[in-house]
Structures are given as structure tokens and as C-alpha cells.
Structure 1
């Protein structure tokens, strides 16, 4: 399980975020997603702690706390949703691309 950390400053670093969470236990991993096109941070992160008790302590202490000029949103990360398959997918119904359609 991991922790979602939202409303982060775009200036945040992995080391700085890791140091904040280390106050509540062992930090196994910090992930700062970036925009594919610009490479800019997306304003949120995922943090994995050593135990569930450490995660709970970090969430309770940091949710709503001000850090780097922003009020953090900290909670348990939800599993990534399956957004469907490839382009067009197999969802039935009309729509999508069909090379046999002539207009």
C-alpha cells in the first residue's frame, strides 16, 4: 500500500519529501510523477512506508499540514483504475474507427 500526497509545490524534490515522511517511520520509496510532454512535476506524489502503522501516523500528521506554502492532501492511495485497453477498445456499440466506412 502507498500514500497519495497531493497539492505539492512544483519545486519539491524526492529527498525533501522523503525527509518529511521519515519523521514518521522508514520510507521505502518516493515517486514524483512528471508530465510526459513537458517533464514538469504534476503536483502529487506517492510514498511507500515500511509498515501500515507508519503510513497511518504520517497520514494523520500531514493531511492538511502546510508545507512549502501549500496545504497538503495526504491519504491512502487508491488502486489505479483500468482505463480500458487500446484505442477503440472492445466496448461494443458504434463509434470508433472503421476503415470500411465511407463518407
Structure 2
């Protein structure tokens, strides 16, 4: 399951985010989205977990909780819409 994490502290590192979710199960990837020009965190990221039950437990436990000095929002990520080709 792909999980969206918002309202992150701009100083939070990928490893810290991954460790928080790893307490609930196997994390296959962790990413903090960064500005292409400055490299600064945009304050949100994504976690991928293999087991949906573990992912849902992580979402329930971490949503609207303090993490690295900020109250974060954690929810299932929306799938990207398919490109339609109609411009």
C-alpha cells in the first residue's frame, strides 16, 4: 500500500520517516518530496508498505500525531490518474 504523509517538518529525513513506519511492518520504500531547484523538502512524502494490514495500522497510529515536532497527516495515497491523451 502506498501511504501519503503530509505536514512533515522540513528537517525530517527519509530515514527517520521510514523508521517510524517500520515499527508497524516492512517498509519497501520511503520518499520525501523535494523542490527540484532548492532541494528543500516540500513537507510531504510517501511510504510504501507490502502488507495492507500493517499499513492500515500505521495510518491509524500515526495520523494526526506528533512526529519530529509537527502534527502529521497520514492517509492512503491516491492513485495517479491514467493519462488520457486528450489535450
Q: Same fold (TM over 0.5)?
A: yes
SS class of match (1:28): strand
Q: How far apart, in 2, do the equivalents of 1:36 and 1:15 lie?
A: 20
CA deviation after TM superposition for structure 1 residue 11, in Å:
0.5
Structure 2's unaligned 5+ residue stretches are none
Going from structure 1 to structure 2, the CA distance change for 1:34 and 1:82 (only over 3 Å counts) comes to: farther
Query: TM-score, normalized by length of structure 1?
Result: 0.77
Q: How far apart, in 1, do the equivalents of 2:4 and 2:42 lie?
A: 13
Structure with a larger share of its residues in strand: 2
- What corresponds to 1:42 in structure 2? 42
Please give the per-residue CA displacement for 1:20-50, whole angstroms capped at 9, x wherever unaligned. Answer: 0011001110011111121111100100112
The RMSD of aligned alpha carbons is 1.7
The structure with higher relative contact order (CA 8 Å, sep 6+) is 2
